Amino acid sequence: MGIRPAKTIRKINKVAWARYSKKKPRKSFVKAMPHLHLTVYNMGKMRDDYEMQFDLTAKGPIQLRDNALESARQAANKYLEKLLLNEYHFVVRVFPHNVLRENKMISGAGADRLQKGMRASFGRPTSRAARVPKGQPIFSIKTMKENTEYVDEAYRRARSKLSGKYKTEVRELT
């Protein structure tokens, strides 16, 4: 069985479990942090002469799992790398702090003898997610004005990997 669908964790109406302390482990709500899938945050080449900045921003509050952010980052970066080598700077602007918990249930014959249902149902940490409020940029790409259509296509590919609705905000850099 794979991971649960995005619709189960998409809303931000649940309590955030982000407290993890290396110095005082007894004070941690989360005893063991799940593995982080998103590891690269800056891609491309950082230069001062870029003309435009394109931000992919959320139209509403949403919670995005780290593996969804990673797949969106890879989809956009591979497309840009193929066409605009060293002519862009791509930044991931959110960090997955929130720990997602799951009370795993099994089904099938004999399942009633192996689980306790909703008794002690706090769950185990399974993955991490980033909480994104409305209007916060998720990705930013700096490039030249003539590369606008490539950035639009890269963001279209990234949006297909994320749940929720997004818009592209364009800003001129001076």
pLDDT tens per residue across span 11-66: 888 888 777 777 887 877 777 778 888 889 999 999 999 999 999 999 999 999 99
Domains of the chain (ranges plus CATH)? 36-98+123-174 (3.90.1170.10)
Say if CB 132 and CB 101 are below 8 A apart: no
Enter the pTM of the model. 0.84
Helices vs. strands in the chain: H and E counts, helices first: 2, 8
> Which pLDDT does position 169 carry in this prediction?
96
Task: Please give the average per-residue pLDDT across 61-85, as a whole number.
Answer: 94
153 CB burial (10 A radius; 0-12, 13-18, 19+) = middle
Please report how the helices 148-159 and 66-83 are oriented relative to each other, as an axis angle in degrees rounded to 10. 150
Q: Residue 110: pLDDT band by 50, 70, 90 thresholds? A: low
Q: Residue 1: pLDDT band by 50, 70, 90 thresholds? A: low
> Which residue(s) pair with 56 in the sheet?
139, 168
Q: Residue 130: pLDDT band by 50, 70, 90 thresholds? A: very high
> Which pLDDT does position 76 carry in this prediction?
96
| Full 3-state SS string of 57-103 | EECCCEEEEHHHHHHHHHHHHHHHHHHCCCCEEEEECCCCCEEEEEC
Q: Residue 111: pLDDT band by 50, 70, 90 thresholds? A: low
Q: Residue 104: pLDDT band by 50, 70, 90 thresholds? A: confident
Judged against a pLDDT cut of 70, whether residue 112 lies above it is answered with no
> Which pLDDT does position 144 carry in this prediction?
95
> Which pLDDT does position 124 carry in this prediction?
82
pLDDT, the chain, mean: 88
